[in-house]
Amino acid sequence: MTPDFLQSLRGLWHLTWCGSLTWRRTAVIAAVLLANPALAWFGIPARGTTAFLHWTTHLYLGLAMPLYCLVICGGMIRDEVQDDTLGFLLTRPLTRARLFLGKYVCQLAWIQGVVLANSLLLVAVGWLRDVPEALSLATRLLLVGAVGTLVYSALGALFGLLTRRYVVLGLVYGFLVEVGIGHIPTNINALSMMRHQQTLLAGHAAVRDRYAWSADGPWTAALILCGTTALALALGAAVFTLREYQNERTQ
């Protein structure tokens, strides 16, 4: 990385964190962090292993976390376009591709922090509810959450460049690919990122026994998740470089 890119990255980092730590956004973040564990507290009974596993593997890693990545990273460039501030960021010698990647890195760091905190709070809820597997699942939950945010944030960033209705596109992708193709009992289900997350989660005996997920090929699953992240970022950088963006509200 060149000194110019590192300097630009520091500036983007400052803008991202200053913009995310305003009083209003801090209140929203606190609500996001507390809502999931609070609902889990009421939804998981004492020693409720089945409820805890369903909450963490399906509702959290399978729904809440991907949606959060989509909303945050989908708007990282699109919001700049709608606010007419993109031109201030497109300054030389920072190329469009490096701006896109720099924004992704800064947003990813923020998302990773939120997901880490949320995962630890869920584990704490399980521990307080006397779920035997809560602590033993913690490491795998943190690992899958970290890897999952990589790929879903990259996909969200790409969707945000393709359309301003990136949430709709993300939901369509989720239903068609993650839910639809992911449940087809053939090799085509490898297109589903959730399928590979399940492979990593299946390394825990309780998860494997409860859902009959295969734990074969965890390194392959991790490589596919990372490879899909790189592919989505490469496509996003190419789209952002070649396409001109205008505020659609002023057209």
Helix axis angle, 218-242 relative to 134-162, nearest 10°?
A: 20
**Domain residue limits, the chain:** 3-242
- Kindly report, residue by residue over 235-246, the tens digit of the pLDDT: 999 999 988 877
- CB 119, CB 142: distance < 8 Å: yes
pTM for the structure as a whole: 0.89
Q: Which of 118, 192, 112, 194 is nearest to 146 (CA)?
A: 112
Tokens of 74: 């989908």
Tokens of 198: 């399940």
> What is the rounded distance in angstroms from the CA atom of residue 41 to the CA atom of residue 160?
34
- Kindly report, residue by residue over 53-98, the tens digit of the pLDDT: 999 999 999 999 999 999 989 988 888 777 777 777 776 567 888 8
Q: Which of 170, 189, 193, 190 is nearest to 181 (CA)?
A: 189
> What is the rounded distance in angstroms from the CA atom of residue 94 to the CA atom of residue 9?
10
The confidence score (pLDDT) of residue 251 equals 45
Query: What length is written for the chain?
Result: 251
Buried b / exposed e over 70-90, threshold 16 CB at 10 Å, is bebbbbbbbebbbeeebeebe
- Kindly report, residue by residue over 110-156, the tens digit of the pLDDT: 899 989 999 999 999 999 999 999 999 999 999 999 999 999 999 99
Cβ of 209: how many Cβ atoms within 10 Å?
Answer: 11
